[in-house]
Amino acid sequence: MFKKIAFITIISLALIVASCGGDKTLVENDSTTSEVKKEFSAVTVDRFADIQVLRYEINDFDNLSLDQKKLVYFLSQAGLAGRDIIYDQNNPYNLEIRQALESIVEKFDGDQNSDDWNNFMTYTKQVWFANGIHHHYGMDKLMPKFSRVYFNSLIDQTKTSISKETTEVMFSSTEAMKRKNKNADVDMIQASANGFYGEGVTQKMVEDYYSAKIDKSAKHPVEYGHNSTMILKDGEAFEEIWKSGGKYGKAIDQITFWLSKAAGVAENDKQKIAIEKLIEFYNTGDLTTWDEYNVLWAQSTDGDIDWINGFIEVYGDALGKRATYESIVQITDFEASEQMKVVTENVQWFEDNSPLFDEHKKKEVKGVTYKVVQVASESGDASPSTPIGVNLPNNDWIRQEIGSKSVSLGNIIAAYNNASGSGILQEFSNDQEEIDRAKEHAELAGKLHTALHEVVGHASGQLNEGVGQPAETLKNYASTLEEARADLVGLFYIYDQKLIELGLITTLEVGKAEYDGYIRNGMLTQLQRLDIGKDVEEEHMQNRQLVASWVIEKGADGNVIEKITRDNKTYYNITDYNKLRTLFGVLLKEIQRIKSEGDYEAGKKLVETYGVKVDQAVHKEVLSRVKPLDIAPYRGFVNPVFVAVKDDNGKISDIKIENTQTFVEQMMFYAKEYGI
């Protein structure tokens, strides 16, 4: 998915999921625009560690027909049926640990006011939120703040089962310390604790396996490794396919059970055929079938209901091959979608007028659609931490020949906005002019940058003939560079008079607001997500720091951006927005060249030079400035629960929404209903 950005009052609408074959964007807490701040109690469900859990609403669900409600219900059940898959993908010990934690939560009747119990519950919530024992964003292992002795006492009191080996993994300060390690100086496979590779598999084995397997001249290459675990079989690399009858087969059979019901109430034939092809993929595990499904799905643009379901994003794999399970069920917001329709209608103009080399531009941008939607249900890698924008499919040849779908998750963005304050903006803006500009324009700026990132950015550019897919050519740097490329498209055009001509904005102050926020976030505010001494490892954070630090360096001679120190605090002040836009275009041109030509060394140099290392003095400063604001760096959601109402004959007569569960209640409910 080239995923996720949006109309957020939160200035950096950050990440876009990737490949944006799936964009997944996590929102930064640099809130800027809400003039009337709603009370946190209106949307906040829980707060623990570095996380705030929110609730989102679905508007006008009752206006859907019965079959449409059934379609939403069946698709949501299909998504939740695969929930356990992401836990195992993230680490082979996760499910056993989660089940032990849930057993204790259910059965423990001792002192629940002690510090030990509170620490246990915090850890349990962190595991639920991260879909495993590693931080959902930073990838480092979550270390319990209760003792092994206390944990063993809980195990004994509740008669819970967990192996000594698994307990050791939980508490060890040396085992399984990083879910994904992208350090190019180590064996990234052996240094990563995810479940994509079996014992003894090395990075060289993986690279040699696919080097021999992939036909680089193929016009329609499949996404090799996309739906398999690589293990050793008789000493040789072997792909264990995720399919019915294979790995994750029990969960997949439940997914296809619900998908079959969804096909029976599809809104039109294109939807029905696409769902049936997805079922075929799950049954066979065939990657050509996966591409056939994605073509059908990309062409299925009519109807009010849509879905994302499958093995989607490759961010969890250091080599960018294996995809995590994800599901999003969505209902079109037609009014908001109509407002942004002009972007898709002019996507060819954007491509033709981009600063790319002519040979890297698409002569015909095909099949691009963009909608604002309401999320109805999320699961797998999309929950509890969710994107705010998505662009799929991820396979480059499909995007080039068929097209893609881009969506902004409107009700998710609204929930973020309702829970936001302006503390970060006040603290890190250089002057009152910057603050006022953000309050006036940042919400629209975020909305437009998201649209441009998803619709134009991920759809733009093309590979040179004979150049392999980015996962093969750019390897562990592919996702960071793709997100930077899409961000730069948005940044280049958001300060363009064309947006005024199209009626999207009335003043270029909107572009200035986005430039202010982007530099502020890339250099300062996103550092609140890192522990002191850490490098930047997550792809979206690397992308933002890369872009911001590169333009600051290259614009030094032209006095484009000033670094200001005042009262021992660091600020950035843009002095020439036109020159900054030109620099964004220069960097965009180079990153597209890197992608089009498959220039690994140039891509590596860009990311490692500008996107990874952190100024430790500034990092300490940021953490000290953020601490008094008491802002959770990460946010996520509980989902509404759909309840099927049946008549006297056992047939579904209505679907009702219940949206009252706490975070703990929802996680325990999911464990009972969807644990496979």
Mean pLDDT by 10 residues, the chain (676 residues): 34 36 39 36 83 94 96 98 98 98 98 98 98 95 98 98 98 96 93 98 97 90 97 96 98 98 98 98 98 98 97 95 98 87 94 97 92 96 94 93 92 82 90 96 90 91 92 92 97 98 97 98 95 91 97 92 96 97 98 97 97 96 94 94 97 97 98 94
Q: Is the dihedral of CA 452, 457, 458, 460 positive or negative?
A: positive
From 170, 162, 167, 163, select the one nearest 144 (Cα to Cα): 170
Distances (CA, A) of 484 to 23, 122, 166, 385: 12, 34, 38, 21
From 499, 113, 479, select the one nearest 340 (Cα to Cα): 499
Let me know how long the chain is. 676
d(C-alpha 141, C-alpha 128), whole Å: 13
How is domain 40-60+249-629 classified at the CATH fold level? Fructose-1,6-Bisphosphatase; Chain A, domain 1 (3.30.540)
What does the block give as tokens for 500? 């005024």
pLDDT at 471: 87
d(C-alpha 9, C-alpha 32), whole Å: 6
d(C-alpha 328, C-alpha 81), whole Å: 13
From 374, 390, 430, 252, select the one nearest 325 (Cα to Cα): 252
472-507 burial code (b ≥16 CB/10 A, e <16): bbbbbbbbbbbbbbbbbbbbbbbbbeebeeeebbee
pLDDT at 216: 81
Query: Any idea of the CA torsion for 123, 125, 130, 133, to the nearest 10 degrees?
Result: 30
Residue 154 CA, chain-centre distance (Å), reads: 35
d(C-alpha 86, C-alpha 378), whole Å: 13
Distances (CA, A) of 309 to 85, 108, 194, 282: 13, 36, 21, 11
Helix (H, G, I), strand (E, B) or coil at 572: strand
Q: From the CA atom positions of the chain, what is the Rg in Å?
A: 24
pLDDT at 28: 42
Residue 215 CA, chain-centre distance (Å), reads: 30
Residues 6 or more apart from 204 whose CB is under 8 A from it? 187
Find the DSSP H helices in 537-640.
Answer: 539-554, 577-597, 600-606, 616-626
d(C-alpha 124, C-alpha 121), whole Å: 5
Residues 17/4, Cβ–Cβ less than 8 Å: yes
As beta bridge partners, residue 331 has 305, 374
- Which amino acid does the sequence have at 259? L
Q: What is the 3-state secondary structure (H, E, C) of 251-304?
A: HHHHHHHHHHHHHHCCCCHHHHHHHHHHHHHHHHCCHHHHHHHHHHHHHCCCCC
All structural domains of the chain with their residue ranges: 40-60+249-629, 84-171, 642-674
d(C-alpha 202, C-alpha 188), whole Å: 8
- Residue pointed to by tokens 């059979």: 253
d(C-alpha 131, C-alpha 378), whole Å: 13
Distances (CA, A) of 538 to 163, 602, 612: 32, 19, 9
Torsions phi, psi of 536, nearest 5?
-85, 120
The pTM of the whole model exceeds 0.85: yes
